[in-house]
Amino acid sequence: MCFEFDAVPPELPADLVRGRLAGGAAAEVLELTSADATRFSAAIASSGQEGGVGVVVLPDVRGLYRFYVQLTERFAQAGHHAIAIDYFGRTAGTGERGEDFEYMPHVMQTQGGQIRDDTHAAIEELRVRTGVATIVTVGFCFGGLQSFIAATDPAIDSVVGFYGILDTTRFGVPSPAERAPDMHGPVLGLFGGADPNIPREHVDAFDRALEEAGVQHELVVYDGAPHSFFDRTFEEHAVASQDAWRRTLRFLDDTARIVR
């Protein structure tokens, strides 16, 4: 499990919002069509500015629910167009996922190639609507794993993973460390130091693999922070959340400069 159903994305750092002349529209929930003609749900929010960075948000195991709809709005407020996708159009149909959604049977049916195709459909929607030139994936937990793997995709300029899964034994696929030689970076990873699902040795192994592969990266571990610390209801982890926001937004800006 990643976020609780009533989780809320942390507010943006106030000084960064002022500095970016924050705006952005409310998110729109829509349906997109993947390469295999599957219809799947997504939520998109525009910053109100032409071009710039497009963020593809890759949710946790719950798929598309209100946390990620709200998160696209946070990115739009920070000046970045954003779209969040749902993984389960092929097995569970469309629509936002409710609290009673039994997600694990659907998670276990997901395939990396299908997630890539859905991500590409989301990128195309962003490009058509906003004219974005730069694409960054930002994923959480299961989506963090997918975001790290997206660093192997030439269509993606850089990736961010919040507590992305590093041990993929149960999914029967190569781990991010194993895929590091295929990654092009830059890669930003944000982890909780008190996360029992992602021990420090797994983060260190990923760090070594990226270093050996020559991939530009930064992996940050917040001491004492749990899995899913990026949640406004976790007041005791507000400092980690604010720092994670700052690093993520700086990373988006840096990516835009590199691509430009």
Q: Are 53 and 224 in contact (CB under 8 A)?
A: no
Sequence-ordered list of residues with C-beta below 8 angstroms from that of 30, at least 6 positions apart, any chain: 41, 42, 43, 44, 125
Strand partners, 187: 159, 217
Give the number of other Cβ atoms within 10 Å of residue 116's Cβ: 19
Q: Give the amino acid at 14.
A: A
> Burial of 50 by CB count in 10 Å (0-12 exposed, 13-18 middle, 19+ buried)?
exposed
pTM: 0.95
Domain coordinates in residue numbering, the chain:
14-259
Please provide the CATH number assigned to the domain covering 14-259: 3.40.50.1820
SS3 245: helix
Quote the CA–CA distance of 72 and 74 in Å, as a whole number.
Answer: 5
- pLDDT tens, the chain, 260 aa long: 576 788 899 999 988 765 555 566 789 999 999 999 999 999 999 988 776 789 999 999 999 999 999 999 999 999 899 999 999 999 999 988 888 999 999 999 999 999 999 999 999 999 999 999 899 999 999 999 999 999 999 999 999 999 999 999 988 899 999 999 999 979 999 999 999 999 999 999 999 999 999 999 999 999 999 999 999 888 899 999 999 999 999 999 988 877 65
Report the alpha-carbon angle 179-182-183, nearest 5.
Answer: 90
Sequence-ordered list of residues with C-beta below 8 angstroms from that of 174, at least 6 positions apart, any chain: 168
Sole residue written with tokens 């008190």: 194
